[in-house]
Amino acid sequence: MGLVEIASENSVWRGIDYCNNKKVLSWHKSGSQEYKGRVSGSDNAVYDVCIDKEHPRKSTCTCPFAEGRRVVCKHMIALLFTAEPKAKEVFLDEVERWEAEEEQREQEHYNDLKKYVKSLLKQQKNERSYNTSDTTVL
């Protein structure tokens, strides 16, 4: 699993926002799968970030959310997507594809539900017809 997969949804979207708003002040590749950088955070704080793509839980950030914990924060995501813009494109394409598929599933569910309700109404109408045509002879 990579950084994006183990990050919370909020961290991913905030990280994209930070990336888009150029909050990554500096960065460099420090290994074949590692990046180090400095990311501007809230209240003009600057955090030191190190991401390890091969071992994402070893990634670190000095922000209050991630410091001393094995979590992925928005600063890590911002660094990843700044260093690898293609990764951001791939992620956003996947989200767009998933949303389109979800919309299609919702439409299919709606159509199935509509068909089912129509069948119930038809059945109910047939039952009423049957009951009103049923005459009792005394």
Note the pLDDT tens digit of each residue in 48-90: 999 999 999 999 999 999 999 999 999 999 999 999 999 999 9
> What local confidence, expressed as pLDDT, does residue 138 receive?
54
Mean pLDDT over all residues of the chain? 89
**Residue 136 pLDDT > 60:** no
Gap between the terminal Cα atoms of the chain: 78
**Residue 42 pLDDT > 90:** no
Global pTM? 0.74
List, edge to edge, every strand of the sheet that includes 60-61.
24-31, 34-40, 46-52, 60-61
